[in-house]
Structure 1
Amino acid sequence: MPAERLLPSTEAKDLVGLATDLAREELAPHAAEFEEASRFPREKFRLLGKTGLLGLPYSERWGGGEVPYEVYLQVLEEIAGAWMSVGVGLSVHTMSCYALAHYGTDEQRDRWLPEMLEGNLLGAYALSETHAGSDAAALSTRARLDGGQYVVNGTKAWITHGGEADFYTTMVRTGEERVSCLLVDGATPGLSAAAPERKMGLTGSTTAQMIFDDARVDADRLIGEDGAGMRIALSSLASGRLGIAACAVGLAQAALDEAVAYAKTRSQFGKPIIEFQGLEFLLADMAAAVESSRATYLDAARRRDRGMPFQRQASIAKLVATDAAMKVTTDAVQVLGGAGYTRDFPVERYMREAKVPQIFEGTNQVQRMVIARELKK
């Protein structure tokens, strides 16, 4: 059941309504099948592009929707509630476009951004490495300038859409003290994907290492100044964490809806189990967690829309929403009892999918560090 929403305009309400309808009709009916088969839903991202949902927070000049982040995140929540792999993929694609949209030149944006926002090009964000996950500044993938090209060597790890993406927003070391951002074409010779990771959840979303072996990238694909990579990466992540928070809320809402529906129809001792106080209180706590998490990410998004600092609030939203999703999905399995532990109902998948949002875009332990550091300033 879509959450009741207080949206800033009629246009925003219509947009979220479009996302709700698309999620219900085009995404939810296929989610279980694709996840069971670990099948990547590339056509669903093309569909999001055709309906204008793939570039919502970006400028209309390059094909975006130019909507407030507050509205984009509520669209994202609806998508994730229907199919978490697609919701996370939309969030990652949005973050992958961020560097070009905010730090690229107009010439670069004219050249690449329209196809990204229209769905012809799907993006991936390549920052993490095996030994440089939370410690992003320790990355070792290197790019050496050779004439008009960078020669890139190294391995990126845990890349969402790895091997499926058409472009990789990639952070590389261009000097001992310099990290830079390259927009790497997915078809670049010398760039290859390792075998996909075998994951607990989000099995429809391909995750793989990306290997750069003397991959040659044209120098005009440098985004921002040489050495601006960490600034770009951290700025991208602040907005990306809000995307993950919205996805987590969508997943938790789906789990709550499933638990409520089951509790209304399952009878014990002559009455629906939702009438028992133990279940009532559990469901009430689940609803409180979902709605408070939603309010937290919306507060951060509104600060972002107004040009206010929002990094601390983004970390809080990511922390609160993903921890809540883990708790709510676990409780949903409990509400369904033995049935919840089977694949006849989607809550067991929701529970598996809820774990990784606590880990990616900065673990929740790192979020606590970010929040504390901000408090010290």
Structure 2
Amino acid sequence: MLRRPVESALLAEAGVFTLPAATEYGGLAQSVVTTMGVLEELGFACRDGGLVFSACTQLASSVIPVNRFGKPALKATVLPALCDGSMIGAHAISEPAAGSDAMAMTTTATVRDEQVVLNGTKAFVSNGPIADIVVVYAKAEDGGLTAVVVPTDTPGVVRGRPIEKMGLRTSPLCELFLDDVRVPAHNVLSSPGNGYFVLDYVMKREILFSFVANVGEIRRRIDDVTEYTCGHSQFGQPLSTFQAVSHQIVEMRMNHDTARKWLYDTAVRLMNNRDITTDIAFSKIIASEAAVSSAHTAVRLLGGYGYMREYGIEKDLRNAVAGTIYSGSTEVQKNKLASLLNLT
């Protein structure tokens, strides 16, 4: 979410950042499913995929964990500003040598005299270049993880330069360097060593939020392709009447509906306190691959127009590829499912 006053103000005015937060801190206390419904429509209506991704990051990385696990003093300080959009949040999980393997991270969080001291390097921090706070996940003294809210103006916090990417270019990304960074102990979410539980809570919602927005984008893509193929003729008839074209659009719709059902059914199970370990992995794979497939199909069906930057379809494809990587790649999700199916 770049510091673009009009777009940031519009998202804040629409109440996007308030959805899951408690009412006493300026939130709307809405359910996971209701929040997803809003994000789906945001994905449909907004053609800036990077902005949508950054909005989802704001919710999942910061609003959700602070609202659920923050101490009262931290909530009172941080949540109202996150809700009204005056504060931008991010989280720092991955490291140069520890991506999907969170327990292999080397960044440390040591509790000393009512303070937490952090040291290490974080990679791929979405919203990082513009974040006011970052939820840092670090190795605790007991070998577990600790989740800590770190204001980015804290001494010892150094942000790397913004990193150029294949897609989602309007969602800024950087590395984060922590050198004897000291924050109050009450900035710890939950308790020291309990960060893996926080991370699991957050990542389930990050997947549901980010990929339901992708579902909205797929729906818009179907509308664009349908309008184009019905309105353009070749060999004396509309493109949509050719079976080779119509079948591809049907497959786009099938993949859209399948991804949407998996995401919302999983969200309902989550709200009912059911185990969604396999559901979330399946949902992530299905939705991310559907986004790539639909964007690729759209580029092909629009022909030369789909390949031109002017029409924005090629940007959709570049953006969609990221979904197969972040929040646990397709391959990592399949490994997890193979283990759960006792195949490994």
- Whether 1:316 and 2:282 are equivalent positions in the alignment is yes
String of CA shifts for 1:247-285, please: whole Å, max 9, x gaps: 221222222222111112211111211111111111111
The one-letter code of the counterpart of 1:79 is L
String of CA shifts for 1:159-197, please: whole Å, max 9, x gaps: 100120111011112315132111011211211211111
The SS at the match of 1:344 is helix
The SS at the match of 1:180 is strand
In 1, Cα distance between equivalents of 2:23 and 2:125: 28
1:4 alignment partner in structure 2: none
Deviation at 1:375, TM superposition (A): 4.1
Verify the 8 A CA contact 1:40 1:205 in the aligned structure 2.
no
Distance 1:192 1:47, change over 3 A: farther
Deviation at 1:58, TM superposition (A): 2.5
Q: Which of 47, 50, 56 pairs up with 2:19?
A: 56
- Whether 1:171 and 2:137 are equivalent positions in the alignment is yes
- Whether 1:191 and 2:157 are equivalent positions in the alignment is yes
Verify the 8 A CA contact 1:249 1:325 in the aligned structure 2.
yes
Q: Which of 245, 248, 261 pairs up with 1:282?
A: 248
The one-letter code of the counterpart of 2:233 is S
Name the TM-score, length of structure 1 as normaliser: 0.85
In 1, Cα distance between equivalents of 2:115 and 2:124: 26
In 1, Cα distance between equivalents of 2:16 and 2:202: 19
Aligned length: 340
Deviation at 1:43, TM superposition (A): 4.8
Q: Which of 232, 235, 253 pairs up with 1:269?
A: 235
In 1, Cα distance between equivalents of 2:241 and 2:23: 50
1:239 alignment partner in structure 2: 205
The one-letter code of the counterpart of 1:232 is V
1:90 alignment partner in structure 2: 55
Q: Which of 129, 132, 136 pairs up with 2:102?
A: 136
Identity rate, percent: 28
The SS at the match of 1:163 is helix
1:47 alignment partner in structure 2: 10
212-221 or 180-189, larger mean C-alpha shift: 212-221
Verify the 8 A CA contact 1:80 1:86 in the aligned structure 2.
no
Q: Which of 294, 298, 311 pairs up with 1:345?
A: 311
Name the TM-score, length of structure 2 as normaliser: 0.93
Q: Which of 216, 223, 248 pairs up with 1:250?
A: 216
The one-letter code of the counterpart of 2:338 is A
Verify the 8 A CA contact 1:161 1:205 in the aligned structure 2.
yes
- Whether 1:80 and 2:46 are equivalent positions in the alignment is no
Q: Which runs of 5+ in 2 are unaligned?
A: none
Alpha-carbon RMSD across the aligned residues, in angstroms, is: 1.9
Deviation at 1:303, TM superposition (A): 1.4
Deviation at 1:42, TM superposition (A): 6.0
